[in-house]
Chains A and B, each alone.
Chain A
Amino acid sequence: MHPEQADFDPRNLHLSEQELMYTGHLACPGCGATLGLRLALKVLGPKTVLVLPACCMAVTNGPYPYSALQVPVLQVAFETAAISAAGVRAGLDAQGQKDVNVVAWAGDGGTFDIGFGALSAAVERNDNILYVCYDNEAYMNTGIQRSSATPYGAWTMTTPAGGLKAEPKKNIVEILAAHGIPYAATASIAFPEDFSRKIRKAMSIPGTKFIHLWVSCPTGHKSEERYSIKIARLGVETGVFPLYEVEQGFQYRINHEPAFLEIKKYLELQGRFRHLSEEQVNAIQRNVEWEWKRLRAKVASGNELAMPASKTVMVPEESASPRTHPFDKV
């Protein structure tokens, strides 16, 4: 395409044409999660080990003996993504393979709920991994049941009409920011260049990095497959899903100023929200505005703070010459 054309079509994507995913995988048509992984692998490259717990991706990757991914993948138990990745990292480091990326790729179920403990521990230990949570806002793999990432008012099989999800969505990035994680960010499949930049940035920082990727799920969100990107985009442009990053747990930066379109535009394209009353929609709208106020306050306060003294990162040293044990002296 004409490079000059790009100036006036800023949404023409500048992404790599290297593929690390085969076609023929078993994802639903229009799956946002698969697209997210395809994009991520383009940035991460072939020297990447992917750690995949039980989630949609673990199934769509293909049954034995097929694999849709062209990087080594370790499929692990549901709640162990973070620690398995840390184990892989330790194993590779022990064998001198420090230039291989280790990336945990888990759904919201394995991150917000059953895998939460392991994630919190990995972040607290500052294990040197990238953890990407692809969030389709429910346990989709097992057939659309609610998770703590399911937003207020959404229908799922365990929050049916009459008992819609009454709790707000858990804010995973804020929780990890409270851990002092070196780098955490939100991302959306509708903004792939932003997502790519965040992966690149994350991989340049030692320690634990977390990206919360919003992905559409036509099957679970009861939306039209062709609108997968459009819905993701609207999620950002209505302010429901802000794009921001936070470093060292306190330095916030908003990456995209949304157009703050009416939230209705986002909700009406998804059947899972069709049970909402007008009051509930208004409540959601007000809440989005409130959350933005809070986010902006964090940006402001972060700008005023300097790096706390205790946060000077301690990197455990490797002994240049290992000491011998007294028992080894003959």
Chain B
Amino acid sequence: MRTVLKGNGAVAQAVRMARTQVICAYPITPQTSIVEELAAMVSSGQLNSRFIKVESEHSSMAGCIGAASTGARTFTATSSQGLALMHEMLHWAAGARLPIVMVNVNRGLGPGWSLWADQSDSVAQRDTGWMQIYCQSCQEVFDTVIQAFEVSQRVLLPSMVMLDGFFLSHTYEDMDLPEPGLIDGFLHPLCVPHKIDIEKPATLGSMVAPDRYMEFRKKIDLAHQQALGVWTEVDNQWSALTGRSYGLLDEYRMQDAELVLVATATPASTARVVVDDLRERAIPAGLLRLRVFRPFPAAALCNALGNRKKVVVLDRSCSYGHHGAFHQEIKSALYELPASAHPEVRGIIAGLGGRDITAEDLEEMLLRAWQNKLSETVTWWNTLPEAVVR
């Protein structure tokens, strides 16, 4: 059915329709309405789930781990400080190979206490072993959460689905909700092979000596590599059912593009208009939206970006001391290509703490790149300049 939902509302519906069994969550702006809607659905009986109203995000993830270890379908959501607090347990969930699904509403980290859109929180967790997907529309959020439940349980890795704070979480969109029967048919019954089982008593998570530890970690990495194919497969299956598919990367007017903007989330959605505009002015622009960030789709990226003239990578975060994360990772992937295929890559750090990235900003970025006016490898966009030029 067609309806109008905001991003957070789409999340709540997806969690409900996936018949999630255990939710452990703690409110934090701008995720709060997810938690509130889920609580309402549980109280009213519309969602048959156990909702543990935990006292901190660290406990959110710990509670999910406990529940997922029994083989139950689990979910949580958080943002910013909450995600940071969860950090220890994110490592734990991935190491325990549990198919937990979490929505992270991207928000900046304090201090300066920020409530607004910023990807620093999720980017800082890219090493934890979680799969990470960035969404640009409410429809995509809904579809991705459902897909995440399926991919996670196939590869036994937890998924983190991102939506921009306020820009997507609180923005209403018209979208299509499938019938419950379609979701039930799409999602396989959850099976965690190493789950807690009274009939097969075992200890999960005991001490592992150096001579045995690395194999577990290698298997996580291999699962990520396997997951690339699974994301595509599941996406295709979803497409067959709903007509919607998203892929690992979302390409817009890329066939003959020489100037490419690589972006994620809502700025990518704004960028389509900019690409169209530049094309009108005979500039061969294209947009590459990075959707699945972990596992990192290196091959697809190289395919898409090899032999382009100029690539501008937009980061809404910074790995202090060494540029934005997306910028670094894309350049490192491109290094595998022969030097002749390497495009010129420029990084832009913009939008931290919710500072708006407008269509004008994006057009300016691309034009400057095209006109060789982006001299620095990385440019902090729309910020006060330094008094002393070093």
Asked if B3 is at the interface (CB within 8 A of a chain A CB), the reply is yes
B197 neighbours in A (Cβ, 8 Å):
72
Q: Does A284 touch B at the CB level, under 8 Å? A: no
Q: Is the CB of A120 within 8 A of B198?
A: no
CB <8 Å contact, A73 and B203: yes
Contact A76 B205 (CB under 8 A): yes
Given the complex, which residues of A lie within 8 Å of B347, measured CB to CB?
none
A307 CB–B CB distance under 8 Å: no
Closest to B208 in A: A64
Is the pair B67, A46 in contact by a Cβ cutoff of 8 Å?
no
Whole-angstrom CA separation of A151 from B293 in the bound complex: 51
A61 within 8 A of B: yes
Q: Is the interface of A mostly helix, strand, loop or mixed?
A: mixed
Residues of B26-73 whose CB lies within 8 A of A:
41, 44-50, 52-56, 58-59, 62-72
Q: Is the CB of B21 within 8 A of A63?
A: no
Given A90-B50, A94-B21, A94-B50: A328 and B206 interface contact (C-beta under 8 Å): no
Instruction: Point out the residues of chain A lying under 8 angstroms from B71, CB to CB.
Output: 91, 95
Residue on A nearest B205 in the bound complex, by CB: A75
Cα separation A66 to B13 with both chains bound (whole Å): 43
How many pairs, one residue from A and one from B, have CB atoms within 8 Å of each other in the complex?
Answer: 183
Please report the C-alpha to C-alpha distance between residue A232 and residue B198 in the assembled complex, in whole angstroms: 33
**CB-defined contacts of B67 to chain A, threshold 8 Å:** 87-88, 90-91, 94
Of the listed residues B55, B203, B209, the one surrounded by the most CB atoms of chain A closer than 10 A to its CB is: B203
Partner of A83, one of B24, B48, B70, B200: B24
Known: A74-B69, A94-B22. A67 touches B206 (CB 8 A): yes
| Nearest chain A CB to B214 CB, angstrom units | 13
B1 & A327 in contact (Cβ 8 Å cutoff):
yes
The answer for the CA separation of A152 and B160 in the assembled complex, in Å, is 47
Contact partner of B44 (CB less than 8 A), chosen from A51, A80, A125, A323, is: A323
Q: What residues on B are CB-neighbors of A313 within 8 Å?
A: none
Rounded to whole angstroms, the CA-CA distance of A51 and B47 in the bound complex is: 27
Q: Check B22–A70 contact: CB distance below 8 A.
A: no
State A110–B294 Cα separation when bound (angstroms): 33
- Would you call B179 an interface residue if the criterion is a C-beta within 8 Å of the partner chain's C-beta atoms? yes
Contact assessment for A118 and B59 in the assembled complex, using a CB-CB cutoff below 8 Å: yes
Q: Are A91 and B58 neighbours in the complex by a CB distance under 8 Å?
A: no
* B1-31 interface code vs A (CB 8 A; 1 in, 0 out): 1010000000001001000011010000000
**A114-153, CB < 8 A from B:** 117-118, 120-121, 124-125, 127
A27 near B: Cβ within 8 Å?
Answer: no
- Are the C-beta atoms of B58 and A79 separated by less than 8 Å? yes
Contact of A62 with B by CB under 8 A: yes
Query: Is A323 in contact with B46, judged by CB distance below 8 angstroms?
Result: yes
Instruction: Report which residue of B62, B202, B209, B212 has the largest number of chain A beta carbons within 10 angstroms of its beta carbon.
Output: B62
CB atoms of B48 and A75 under 8 A apart: no
Q: Which of A87, A89, A324 counts the most chain B CB atoms within 10 A?
A: A87
The residue of chain B having its C-beta at the shortest distance from the C-beta of A63 within the complex is B207
For B22, what are the chain A residues with a Cβ–Cβ distance below 8 Å? 87, 90-91, 94
* Cβ-defined contact, B66 with A323, below 8 A: no
Whether A87 touches B207, Cβ cut-off 8 Å, given contacts A95-B71, A323-B46, is no
Residue A281 CB within 8 A of the other chain: no
Cβ–Cβ contact A324 & B52, under 8 A: no
Given contact pairs A46-B198, A87-B22, A87-B65, A62 touches B206 in the complex (Cβ within 8 A) = yes
Whether the Cβ atoms of A127 and B177 lie closer than 8 Å is no
A28-76 CB contacts (< 8 Å) to partner B:
46-47, 49, 51-52, 58-59, 61-64, 66-67, 69-76
Q: How far is the CA of A51 from the CA of B46 in the complex (A)?
A: 31
Contact B204 A73 (CB under 8 A): yes
With the chains together, A161 CA to B241 CA distance in Å?
A: 72
Whether A84 contacts B179 in the complex (CB less than 8 A), given A63-B206, A319-B48, comes out as: no
Asked if A74 and B205 sit within 8 Å, CB to CB, the answer is: yes
Task: Determine how close the nearest CB of chain A comes to the CB of B227; give it in whole angstroms.
Answer: 24
Cα–Cα distance between A90 and B62 once the two chains are bound (Å): 12
- Chain B CB within 8 A of A189 CB: no
Q: B62, A58: Cβ atoms under 8 Å? A: no
Q: Pick from A69, A74, A325: contact of B66, CB below 8 A.
A: A74
22 A–B contacts from the bound complex (CB under 8 Å): A49-B196, A61-B203, A69-B201, A70-B201, A74-B205, A80-B58, A80-B65, A83-B54, A83-B66, A89-B66, A90-B22, A92-B72, A95-B21, A95-B70, A97-B198, A118-B55, A118-B62, A121-B54, A322-B45, A325-B46, A327-B177, A330-B179
8 closest A-B pairs by CB: A87-B66, A91-B70, A319-B45, A121-B55, A91-B67, A75-B205, A80-B62, A91-B72
B-contacting residues of A (Cβ < 8 Å)? 46-47, 49, 51-52, 58-59, 61-64, 66-67, 69-77, 79-80, 83-95, 97, 100, 117-118, 120-121, 124-125, 127, 318-319, 321-325, 327-328, 330
